[in-house]
Amino acid sequence: MANELQEIISHYFFSENTVISPVPFGLTNTTCFVTVNGDRYVVRHYNRYTKSQESLQLELEVSSYLLASGLSFTIPAFLPTQAGEPFVTLPDGTIGALMSYIPGTAPSLQDPDDAFALGRVVGELGAKLSSYKPSATIQNAGIPFTDLFRLHPLADAEQIALFWENQPFHVTDEQKRSYDEALAHVTAKREVLLALPRQLVHHDILIYNLLSVNGNITAVLDFDFLAMDISFLEFVISFNHVLQMSGGSSEMAAAFIKGYQTFRTFSAEEWGQLQALTRLYHVAVLHIYIGQHAAGKDISIPFSYIADQLIERVNWLNEHERNGSIEL
């Protein structure tokens, strides 16, 4: 893989004075820091199964739109090659790119102020993405999480069924039962969910994809799962992350909502689908992991982690449901 990274870098710099070092994140793509003559950048070699030129074109256009939008935080900028191209196509057909380096560390999520700050970022980004209008050249709107059997080319319905029939690692009976119940719940709610408002969704605003300096969130990273989808999913995914990181704290959840509402609101209809969308999110991630397993990655630990999170989140939602609605 180092050879591919060096080849990508060679399209941007003639200098041989380059140092490649690992990053503390990234499961889908191969991502590293690269230092060239003292200047640091981020180089990425995209997964052949989950990134096409068309989907990267969407990410490039949306990145340019957001960078010019006056957000309170920044996002990575794609840098042109020496030939003026926005990315590199390698001989094997895979693609790579060089992006700006943004200093900072992952923010904390330990108290209500942290949850409020995360909510603000989710609301601000969602509000800005709702105004994005694709150009005529964009032919790919990404794959929404509602397309549960298209999220990875190696994880269609048949291949997912084979995974469960021939489990490559131990899955508990509770994990399998929770998955089955979640999939059935989402399937039954499909038409209702598809009737909810839609827009571009980042799908992965977790603290691991944020940067912070002096306690302030300064950047949002990793737009790899960008797609037109149910608008409220952006809230749901990050809301679940707050519950996960706080052990189900209602105080933290309320602070996140308050921060989110600085920029956005949600309808009673959207809030009423929190149960279904929570299940949808976890099933979608499990399907992506099943595809990554088929591609040769060891996904046993993250798969079990998300399967357990599904169980915990469903239990939490059931405990907080009153008269058909979730109350904090």
Question: Quick check: is 152 in a domain?
Answer: yes
- The rounded distance, in Å, linking the Cα atoms of 114 and 86 is 35
Regarding whether 119 and 94 lie in a shared domain, the answer is: no
Same domain for 163 and 275, yes or no, is yes
Which of 171, 261, 189, 274 shows the shortest CA–CA distance to 232? 274
pLDDT value at 136 more than 70 = yes
Are 119 and 96 in contact by the 8 Å Cβ rule? The answer is no
Give 239-252 pLDDT, tens digit per residue: 999 999 999 999 99
Structure tokens, 171: 């899955």
Domain range enclosing 294? 112-326
Q: Determine, yes or no, domain membership for 107.
A: no
Report the pLDDT value the prediction gives residue 138, as an integer from 0 to 100. Answer: 80
Last residue of a domain, one of 47, 68, 100: 100
End of a domain among 73, 100, 127? 100
State the Cα–Cα distance between residues 57 and 73, nearest whole angstrom. Answer: 22
Q: Which of 100, 126, 155 is the last residue of a domain?
A: 100
* Same-domain check for residues 237 and 307: yes
- Here the CATH number for the domain that contains residue 77 is 3.30.200.20
Least-confidence region, from 64-78, 93-107, 130-144, 211-225: 130-144
Please check whether residues 95 and 228 belong to one and the same domain: no
> In this structure, is residue 146 part of a structural domain?
yes
pLDDT digit string, tens, across residues 160-191: 999 999 999 999 999 999 999 999 999 999 99
Task: Mark whether 316 and 217 lie in a shared domain.
Answer: yes
Same domain, 182 and 244: yes
Name the residue among 218, 320, 208 with its Cα closest to residue 275.
Answer: 320
Residue 322 confidence class, pLDDT cut points 50, 70, 90: confident
Same domain (yes/no): 124, 230: yes
Residue listed under structure tokens 């300064």: 218
pTM of the model: 0.95
Same domain flag for 166 and 270: yes
Q: Does residue 93 sit within a domain?
A: yes
Same domain, 65 and 124: no
Q: According to the model, what pLDDT value does residue 194 have?
A: 97
Whether residues 154 and 223 fall in one domain: yes
Judge if 131 and 188 occupy the same domain: yes
**Burial profile 172-208: b = 16 or more Cβ within 10 angstroms, e = fewer:** eeebeebbeebbebbeebeeebeebebbbbbbbbbbe
Confidence at residue 134, expressed as pLDDT on a 0 to 100 scale = 86
How many structural domains comprise the chain? 2
On whether both 197 and 300 belong to a single domain, the answer is yes
pLDDT over 90 percentage in the chain = 84
Q: What CATH number is given to the structural domain containing 177?
A: 3.90.1200.10
268-313 confidence digits (pLDDT tens)? 999 999 999 999 999 999 999 999 999 999 999 999 999 999 999 9
